[in-house]
Each structure stands twice: as C-alpha cells, then as structure tokens.
Structure 1
Amino acid sequence: MAKFVVVGAGIVGLATAHRITLDYPDAQVTVLEKEPRVAAHQTGHNSGVIHAGVYYKPGSLKAKLCRAGSQSMVDFCTEHGIPVQVCGKLIVATDESELPRLRALHERATANGLPVRLVGPAEAAEHEPHVRCVEAMHVASTGIVDFTAVCTTLAALVEKAGAEIRFGSRVTGIVERGGNQIVQTTTGEIVADAVVNCAGLHADRVARLAGIDPPARIVPFRGEYFELRPDRRDLVRGLIYPVPDPQFPFLGVHLTRMIDGSVHAGPNAVLALAREGYSWDRINPRDIADFAVYSGLWRLARKHLRYGLTEVRRSLSRQRFAESLARLVPDVTAADLEPSAAGVRAQAIAPDGALVDDFLIVARDRQVHVLNAPSPAATSSLEIAKHIVAELPGFRGRR
C-alpha cells in the first residue's frame, strides 16, 4: 500500500490529497497542517475570484491550468452544493493611454481561448452602471466563490476516503531512510513513499528541510482590503478591474462582489514584515532577516521602487485608496470604505530579482514541491492537483 504525505491544508494541498485518494484509492494519505483549521492563510484570505485566465502567457502552466481549473472549479462547486456564481468581469481602460495595453490583453485572452469582448462605454455601463471607461473588456467566464467553503468540502471528502488530516503538526525535517521518506513533525515521524509540499508561505523552507535548494525564495506581500459600506454595495454588480501595467508586478486595486453579497476593494501590495504578516504590527524577526539578506529582493526593490512607495502611501491613506478606486467607479469615496481583512501573497522571487511569473513545481526523489502558487492557484487547484499527482516521481503510470 502506497503512503503519501501532503504538507499544507490550503486549497492546493487539499485538492492534491483528494486527487491522490481518487487515483490511488488503496493508498494511505496524511495531510499535515500546522494550524488548527483548513485554509488558514492564503486560501482563507483571498478575494474569492474564479479567474478565467486572461493575464497569463499562452502555453504557460498558469494559462493551461487556470482555463481548465475555472471550469472544473465551477463543476465541483455545483456538484457539491457550494454557492458559486459565474458573473463575468470588466477590465476597464479609464483613459486613452491605456487602450494599447487593453487591446494587447484582449489578444492574449483570445490566444488563451477565452470568451472575451471589447466593449464601449455604453455597453460597459449595461454591465456596471457606475463604471467610467473609454473602453473595456468583458470576460464572461469569471466567477466568484468562497474558497474556504471549497476547502471544507475537500477536507470532508478526503477524510471520507480514509485519509487523515493532522492539525497542529508542523514539519521539522524530511529525510530519506531505508528507501522511505521520513517526515519529521512536531507530532512525531511519518513514514511515506512520496511527499508533496504545498506549504504556501513556507514552501521554500519545507523544501530546504528536504535538502532541496529552491530556485527562488518566498517573499511575503500583504494585500490590504477595504469593503464598501452595505448601503453603497449597489455601486458594483460584479467585478471591476483596471488594465494592469506590465512594467509592475501586480494587478492594481479592483472591486469584487463576494459570494455573500459584500463588495471588497483592493488589494494593494506592500512588503509584509512577517510571512504571516496580516498587519503592519505583525513582525517576525526571523522572516525579516530571511528576506533582508536576499539579493533577489533588493534587485526587485531597485527596479520597482516608485511602485512600492506608491503602494505604501496607499496603505497608509484611506483617501489615496479611495482615489484609486474612483478611477474605475467615480462615485466611490473614502467615506464609503470600511476596513476588511488583509491577505498575504507568497510570491517567489528569483535571485536576479524577477518575480517568478508561472507556477513553479519541482519534482525530485519521490517528492514534489509547489514553490510558487499565487493567484490563480485557488482557481486552478483541482488541475494543479492532477498535474502534481501525474508527475509524482516513481509513481507515473501506477494505479
């Protein structure tokens, strides 16, 4: 009987464990999670968007797995009674200078086989009456869901299939002994035939515990959110995004109607002072020391200093945050915004300062390490899981 250990009970880890139980129904599967619940970090703090796959380079893992994952996530939610809505979104150009970038994005989305259309201001207003634009791209296949609810369902399916989810269990080492993978944890050792590292914010550290030198390092970026006051939620029907600037690494603040009817605004992107740094006062000296000596971060900072300072100013000023949103929906004011929970993005940065643009999955010696899985990983999670299990070293073709 094959024995698998999956590190991390976020959506990628749980989807992988679920996939293993489907592909290897006689296997013993253990999911290790250092927190007392599923979806405690990235999965439980994101915007709940089921992305269509607009932004990703054709042929990349993100493009391939996001497009397939968008449909499989909707199908999974429908099958298991999880509320889901395919509401579509608008990506809006607010002035003429953004039109070349919008049209280039339209070409990319078309190359990825997505149902997208360029629309003028009048048609954009049919979708979002309060939006301001000179042109927009309507993306019909974008949806919304509560990914924590997805994780709760996945966890139940995993346990029903006989797998164990071991909470409060932090990995402290991974060694090979007698042809087995020995996973050392704060709750004891586990003997496994294969290990899958889906540790998110700590994925590179878990890889180093296994003796692997990761080709990139995780650096945490906090995404801060506001939400519209309940009496102002009628300003947004679905999802409204700006045209991203390709010279900067993030998408910019946007407006997102959540599955519960609330409307979130954000996120910005500021360097967090801890890997789990959900506020400015969450500081972890070890985490700071880890990225402060990393040449890749300093090279990134030099390249994007102006962008980073803008994000910090926006973090410290609700008025600046509101002004960014008002470019999309002019009626939004600072008085309409209420603070909401922040998230932290585990972003892999290469030694040369480049953001790792695609999913980064490294397989070696009956181990698979997911070393970069930011957005759209939640959307793509069921497909990422298929990819991981199909690539497990030493297990290809075995069922």
Structure 2
Amino acid sequence: MRFDYAIVGGGIVGLATAHALAERFPDASILLLEKEDGPARHQTGRNSGVLHSGIYYAPGSLKARLCAAGVQSMMRFCDEYGIRYEQCGKVIVATHARELPQLERLYERGLQNGLNVQRLTSEEVRAYEPHVQAIAGIRVPSTGIVSYRHVSLTLVDLARARGTDVRFGTRVERLTPTAHGYDIGTTAGDFTARVLVNCAGLHSDRVARLAGTDPGASIVPFRGEYFELREDRRHLVRGLIYPVPNPDFPFLGVHFTRMIDGSVHAGPNAVLAFQREGYRKTDVNLHDLTEVLRNPGFHTLARKHLREGAMEMLRSWSKAAFVRSLQALIPEVTADDIVPCSAGVRAQAMADDGKLVDDFLLVDGPNALHVCNAPSPAATSSLEIGRVIAARVPGIAPLTPARPPLEGVYA
C-alpha cells in the first residue's frame, strides 16, 4: 500500500504528529505504525502525567519554547475534547542553604521563559504544602496534571476519523530509501511512503540508522522507579512538590506528584536500564546492554556522574535510602507509607562525546525527519512538536490555512 506520510511510533509524539499532518495536509494519505497492541505503552503511558511549565529549560531552546506553548495547546485540546486536567501548580523547595543560589537561578530562568513564578518563604511554602519542610521555595502556578494515556486515546480516535491508517501490532523491520521515498517492511506486510517521520522513542536512533541516517547520538535508557503513597497518607501532598535539582545532574531528583486519579506517586530515581524496555530490575537484554557498555561516550558520562549515579543505584536497591530522600521534603513520610508501583524508562539521547542531549533533537534525512530525543517535557509539548514536524517535512498536498509554526524553533 502507498502513502504520502508514514509515522513510526504510536506514543503521544507520533500521534500528535499524525494530528498535525492531517490538519496541515487534509488530502494526504497518512500511515501510523506502532509495534505494540495499543498506543502510549512506553514513555507516554508510564510518566507522571505532569503538564510542565517550562521553568527548567534554557531560554530559547526547543524545550523552553515548545513547552510554554505546549501546555496551553494541551489544555485547549483537553477542553475541546472533554479530557480532565487540573492546574494545581507546583512548589520547588530548598531544604538546605546551599540550594538557595540554584533556587534563585531557577526563579530567574522562569522569568526569562515568560512564566508567572512566585518566591516563597518557609511559611508560604507550608501554606501551599503544610507537610513540607523547607527554608524557601518558588511556586509555578501554570503546572498541572493530566492523563496522557487518555489524550493519546483521543488522538487515535481523531486520526482514524480523519482517515489516518493507524496500525497497532505492526513492527517496522526494514526501511529502504528509494527515489520516491521509502519501502517499509513490517511484521504485517510491506508499505511505501513518500515521507518518513520517525517518532519511535526508545528505538528512535535505531530506526534512523535503519533508514540510512546517522543521528549523531544514541539512546541510553534510564529507568525511573516510583513508590505510591498509601491512600490514607495521600493527604500529605496537595499538588506537586519538587526539590531543587542538582545543576550538574540531568535529572530532577525524587519528588511527589499527585496524579489526576487522586493517587500520589513518589519518585523517580534514575538508573541505567539493562533493556530499552526494562521496567523491572531483572529485565536484561544483552544486545541493549552491550550496545551501551561498548559506547565510549557512556564511559565518559559514567565517570562524570559517578557519585550521583551511585546514589541513584542505592535508592534503587534500598527502600530506606529512597525514603530518606523523600523525608528531606516531607519528614512525616515513613517506609510503611509507601508501596512500589510501576516504573518508566526515559529514552535519553547521548551524543557521541558522552554528553546527554539537553534539547529535543530533530534530525533531517532524505525525505525524512527523525525525532531522536524527546524525553520530558515531550508529552506536554507534543501538540506543538507535531506542528513543528508538519511545518518542516516536505509538503505533499497543497497547504491549508492553519496556525503558522513557531518562528525560529528549528533555525
């Protein structure tokens, strides 16, 4: 079968891309291929459901610009299609004096990114989160919560209603560039497409190489493990409570997140997963693991973050260590208050020199675009990422009137 556009990956970024392409090219034929039996089975369906504000990201970066626009787009989408969400706001708190300079830098970054950010004293923190112990904090009112799985299911329905051919349980095994696009070999038969869009998440680097494009980076999977507060202890958390992140470490630290269903998750840590879809400590894929360990860049990364990495591993194997990290924010939390819940795996791109890619990474190929780094806040930003992709890929059908893409986001 022949299509104008083929999208590989049925997470929220792939589905948002199908949504944007159908809006921009209503007469084009679109195919979406997903190897799982349904949408949002990996990063999208296993994250904490936060509508991020964009406070952490470098001003002018794709993450900062698309997150700020994306949270607004996502709330409008939810309003339009009756998806429940809540702007509960979040507090980022300092528990030691040494964290105050970084807290102030975060406040200034929030202002640079055009956010409403409020400084908080210790007493003001407790007015929002009575059980938190902090010496200072900042509040970001625009942060919220939603179910990205619900959003994804809605995007699937919209895609099919507009004529997109959405095929689950279809793994891409071969991509052959041709003069007219790509021949695509899958477990459910062969297809051709004039333009390929790679939104394969944890396997995005492999799909890019399968299509003959070197993305200049490799995916390193980091498992994030969570605990959940027992129902009778959920009152300890009203909204979202984050520590001041370590500026030398690319993760945000364990935090408390109230989910849209009312549950409260605590975590995640960040440990190397021994399998790209390794959601349990015992999940090991020798090919995946060997690929990481043979990469010289990973050894550079590991040496740089040896101390932080060791602490993350300790939290992974010791509940007591995990609880101590939580008690830095809420001293009342005990080991009896939390139970393990499902983990997620972050698809983090690492450049060949061992540096983790800080921004979203979009790599052009012949008649193709590869999304090779789309970790958090990609879910928040997904509708805007889709718009950027639709504006960037080669046009097949006449353009229809649509909102113009954000200027300069891929300059």
TM class, shorter-chain normalised?
A: over 0.9
Alignment match, 1:115: 116
Structure 2 letter corresponding to 1:209 = L
Shift of residue 214 of structure 1?
1.6
Cα distance in 2 between the residues matched to 1:11 and 1:284: 25
The 1:188–1:326 alpha-carbon spacing in structure 2 relative to 1, beyond 3 Å, is same
Shift of residue 66 of structure 1?
0.3
Residue 224 of structure 1 aligns to a residue in which SS?
A: strand
Alignment match, 2:295: 294
Alignment match, 2:168: 167
The 1:397–1:348 alpha-carbon spacing in structure 2 relative to 1, beyond 3 Å, is farther
What's the TM-score once normalised by structure 2's chain length? 0.95
Alignment match, 1:75: 76
Alignment match, 2:199: 198
Question: Do the aligned partners of 2:177 and 2:212 also contact (CA within 8 Å) in 1?
Answer: no
The 1:60–1:396 alpha-carbon spacing in structure 2 relative to 1, beyond 3 Å, is farther
The 1:291–1:235 alpha-carbon spacing in structure 2 relative to 1, beyond 3 Å, is same
1:368 and 2:369 matched: yes
Alignment match, 2:30: 29
Cα distance in 2 between the residues matched to 1:245 and 1:397: 48
Alignment match, 1:339: 340
Cα distance in 1 between the residues matched to 2:144 and 2:297: 34
Question: Do the aligned partners of 1:366 and 1:394 also contact (CA within 8 Å) in 2?
Answer: no
Alignment match, 1:176: 177
Structure 1 letter corresponding to 2:161 = K
Question: Do the aligned partners of 1:172 and 1:185 also contact (CA within 8 Å) in 2?
Answer: yes
1:142 and 2:127 matched: no
Alignment match, 2:409: none
Cα distance in 2 between the residues matched to 1:118 and 1:71: 23
Aligned length: 399
Shift of residue 351 of structure 1?
1.4
Structure 1 letter corresponding to 2:53 = A
Alignment match, 1:236: 237
CA deviations on 1:288-331 (whole Å, 9 max, x unpaired) are 11111111111100100111111011001111111101111111
Shift of residue 82 of structure 1?
0.7
Residue 342 of structure 2 aligns to a residue in which SS?
A: coil
CA deviations on 1:19-48 (whole Å, 9 max, x unpaired) are 111111111111100000100100010000
1:323 and 2:324 matched: yes
Shift of residue 2 of structure 1?
6.4
CA deviations on 1:109-129 (whole Å, 9 max, x unpaired) are 100000101110111111111
Alignment match, 2:278: 277
Question: Do the aligned partners of 2:223 and 2:345 also contact (CA within 8 Å) in 1?
Answer: yes
1:247 and 2:248 matched: yes
Q: Counterparts of 1:188-227 in structure 2 under 5 Å?
A: 188-227=189-228
What's the TM-score once normalised by structure 1's chain length? 0.98
Cα distance in 2 between the residues matched to 1:56 and 1:278: 27
Question: Do the aligned partners of 2:3 and 2:192 also contact (CA within 8 Å) in 1?
Answer: no
Structure 1 letter corresponding to 2:116 = P
Shift of residue 173 of structure 1?
1.8
Structure 2 letter corresponding to 1:77 = C
Question: Do the aligned partners of 1:390 and 1:396 also contact (CA within 8 Å) in 2?
Answer: no
Alignment match, 2:403: none
Cα distance in 2 between the residues matched to 1:363 and 1:382: 20
Alignment match, 1:266: 267
Cα distance in 2 between the residues matched to 1:118 and 1:183: 53
Q: Counterparts of 1:372-391 in structure 2 under 5 Å?
A: 372-391=373-392
Alignment match, 1:54: 55
Structure 2 letter corresponding to 1:89 = K
Alignment match, 1:156: 157
Cα distance in 1 between the residues matched to 2:317 and 2:397: 51
Cα distance in 2 between the residues matched to 1:317 and 1:74: 38
Cα distance in 1 between the residues matched to 2:198 and 2:47: 21
Question: Do the aligned partners of 1:364 and 1:393 also contact (CA within 8 Å) in 2?
Answer: no
Cα distance in 1 between the residues matched to 2:126 and 2:386: 39
Question: Do the aligned partners of 2:181 and 2:367 also contact (CA within 8 Å) in 1?
Answer: no
Residue 323 of structure 1 aligns to a residue in which SS?
A: helix
Shift of residue 363 of structure 1?
1.6
Question: Do the aligned partners of 1:68 and 1:380 also contact (CA within 8 Å) in 2?
Answer: yes
Alignment match, 1:66: 67
Cα distance in 2 between the residues matched to 1:177 and 1:51: 40
Question: Do the aligned partners of 2:27 and 2:397 also contact (CA within 8 Å) in 1?
Answer: no
User: Structure 2: 5+ residue runs without aligned partners?
Assistant: 401-411
Moved more, 171-180 or 140-149: 171-180
Q: Counterparts of 1:344-355 in structure 2 under 5 Å?
A: 344-355=345-356
Shift of residue 393 of structure 1?
3.4
Cα distance in 2 between the residues matched to 1:393 and 1:101: 43
Q: Identity over the aligned pairs, expressed in percent? A: 56
Cα distance in 1 between the residues matched to 2:239 and 2:302: 34
Structure 2 letter corresponding to 1:215 = G
Structure 1 letter corresponding to 2:197 = V
CA deviations on 1:131-165 (whole Å, 9 max, x unpaired) are 11111000000000010000000000000111111
Structure 2 letter corresponding to 1:11 = I
Cα distance in 2 between the residues matched to 1:15 and 1:266: 27
